[in-house]
Amino acid sequence: MPTKKAPVKKVAKKTTKKTVAKKPAPKKKPATKAKVASAKTASKTKTPVKKAAKAKKTTSKKAAPQKKVAAKQAAKPLVYAADQESFWTTDGQILNSLLALSEAFAGMEQGVYQFHVDGGQNDFSVWVETVLCDSACAHELAKAKTHKRAQTVVSKHLKSYTL
């Protein structure tokens, strides 16, 4: 005997569309008489108005004080090497910071510099990177060919430190 199956109810899925509320467009204010007059004069002589507009833009910016604030924030404390990690030059100087290295380069003979630079490795660059942890300065020191150029590189990087 055949059995009756229970009727299957079909459930319709309700689809709802999400509506995004649109922001009302800002109302445009009617142009004032002064703006209309300046627009008329601008159409007659375009170049003076553009120059005046550029002059206003440049004077309104205050970039210089912001740069000074950013430079002060970027300053980092000068790193001093421990006694056992200090750099000993062949002429007997013992260096423990970038400041000492800069002063040493000022009175260093070219032969002393060449001793530490020749041989495929720049001893100053390696020391600055590994001990003083200044890879940017070390990278530029590796490119320096003379002790005067090396002194310039170190002096430039000393500006980013608080002394």
Model-level pTM? Answer: 0.55
Q: How many residues are given for the chain?
A: 163
Per-residue confidence (pLDDT) for residue 86, from 0 to 100: 93
Q: Where are the domains of the chain?
A: 83-162
Is 161 in contact with 77 (CB distance < 8 Å)? Answer: yes
Residue 163: pLDDT over 70: yes
Residue 40: pLDDT over 60: no
Per-residue confidence (pLDDT) for residue 127, from 0 to 100: 94
Query: Comparing C-alpha atoms, which of 111, 109, 98 is closest to residue 152?
Result: 98
Residue of higher predicted confidence among 27 and 129: 129
Mean pLDDT lowest for which of 67-76, 82-91, 93-102? Answer: 67-76
**The pair of three-digit structure tokens given for residue 5, joined into one six-digit string:** 């199956």
